């Protein structure tokens, strides 16, 4: 998966030639040695957020121009063009009193991950997009920087997520495709906990082992040690 930075959105939306050049420089120059599956045009752009509202007008035309370039370069069978949404677009859920209570036909929820996924599925269905595939473009748990941000919690989340996505959610009990928030810690992010989502420290040392939870899951290991992250072979 490769993302389009905010700084390129306007040019991509207004200049089809720039979109072709962007795909050439960032995708075709590395393909097929690097296997791309998705191009995410924009990341969590919110219409009501002062920092990102000006970009909302560019998301769809930028996606269309990128898609045209991908199709022209005959990459459309292997690369999908989409965007990464902010979950607040679905509606208010916090505090709970601000949300809308619905009856889910007997479906039960034990974790926020499932509730968020199924809320998105339900929203897509109401908008006529129920057949769209949803990919979790980033998920994880920080190991420091905030409340409950410990190595143990991060390890538990990452390990159990692998098993959990194999069975899906109450609404759609089928395998999910998901990606970690970060491979390495990133010291330039803020607030503090955003710096600690990596599976590795910045010096490439692994934080913890999650291999034991991956046995039989179809994930291809990157090495023989038990203290490393495991990546699918086509990421």
Across the chain, what does the average pLDDT equal? 86
CA-CA distance, 59 to 36, in Å (whole number)? 20
Query: Taking residues 220-230, what's their average pLDDT?
Result: 38
Whether 177 and 135 have beta carbons less than 8 Å apart is answered as yes
pLDDT digits (tens, 9 = 90+) for 15-63: 999 999 999 999 999 999 999 999 999 888 888 888 888 999 999 999 9
Instruction: Note whether 151 and 208 are same-domain residues.
Output: yes
97 falls within a domain: no
Give the three-state DSSP class for 94.
coil
Has 44 been annotated as catalytic?
yes
Q: Where does residue 192 fall: left (phi above 0), alpha (psi -120 to 50 degrees), or beta otherwise?
A: alpha
CA torsion, points 178, 181, 185, 186, in degrees to nearest 10?
150
Q: Is the pLDDT of residue 235 over 70?
A: no
Q: Is the pLDDT of residue 215 over 70?
A: no
Q: What is the 3-state secondary structure (H, E, C) of 166-207?
A: CCCCCCCCCCCEEEECEEECCCCCCCHHHHHCEEECCCCCEC
Using alpha carbons only, how large is the chain's radius of gyration in Å?
19
Which pLDDT score, from 0 to 100, does residue 223 have? 39
Token digits for 153?
């919690």
Q: How far apart are the first and last CA of the chain?
A: 7
Annotated catalytic residue, options 44, 177, 186, 194: 44
Q: Which of 38, 54, 89 is the last residue of a domain?
A: 89
Whether 58 and 13 have beta carbons less than 8 Å apart is answered as yes
CA-CA distance, 44 to 52, in Å (whole number)? 8
122 falls within a domain: yes
Query: Taking residues 178-187, what's their average pLDDT?
Result: 92
Has 215 been annotated as catalytic?
no
Annotated catalytic residue, options 138, 177, 186, 194: 138
Counting the structural domains of the chain, the total is 2
Q: Pick 52 or 232 by higher pLDDT.
A: 52
**Full-model pTM:** 0.79
CA-CA distance, 111 to 119, in Å (whole number)? 13
Q: Which of 38, 57, 89 is the last residue of a domain?
A: 89
pLDDT digits (tens, 9 = 90+) for 116-144: 899 899 989 999 999 999 999 999 999 99
35 falls within a domain: yes
pLDDT confidence bin for 205, thresholds 50/70/90 = very high
165 falls within a domain: yes
Domain holding 9, by residue range, is 1-89
pLDDT confidence bin for 229, thresholds 50/70/90 = very low
């Amino acid at each position: 998966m490769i993302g389009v930075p905010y700084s390129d959105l306007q040019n991509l939306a207004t200049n089809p030639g720039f979109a072709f050049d962007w795909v050439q420089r960032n995708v075709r120059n590395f393909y097929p040695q690097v296997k791309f599956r998705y191009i995410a045009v924009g990341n969590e752009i919110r219409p009501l957020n002062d920092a990102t509202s000006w970009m909302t007008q560019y998301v769809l035309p930028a996606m269309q121009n990128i898609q045209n370039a991908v199709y022209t370069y005959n990459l459309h069978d292997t690369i999908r063009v989409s965007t990464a949404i902010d979950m607040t677009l679905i509606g208010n859920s916090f505090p709970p009193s601000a949300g809308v209570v619905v009856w889910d036909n007997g479906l039960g929820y034990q974790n926020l991950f499932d509730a968020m996924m199924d809320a998105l599925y339900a929203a897509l269905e109401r908008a006529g997009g129920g057949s769209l595939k949803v990919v979790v473009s980033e998920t994880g748990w920080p190991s420091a920087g905030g409340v409950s941000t410990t190595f143990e919690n991060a390890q538990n989340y990452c390990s159990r997520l692998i098993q959990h996505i194999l069975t899906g959610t109450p609404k759609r009990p089928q395998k999910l495709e998901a990606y970690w928030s970060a491979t390495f810690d990133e010291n330039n992010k803020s607030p503090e906990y955003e710096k600690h989502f990596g599976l590795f420290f910045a010096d490439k040392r692994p934080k913890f082992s999650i291999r034991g939870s991956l046995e039989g899951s179809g994930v291809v290991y990157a090495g023989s040690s038990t203290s490393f992250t495991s990546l699918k072979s086509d990421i």
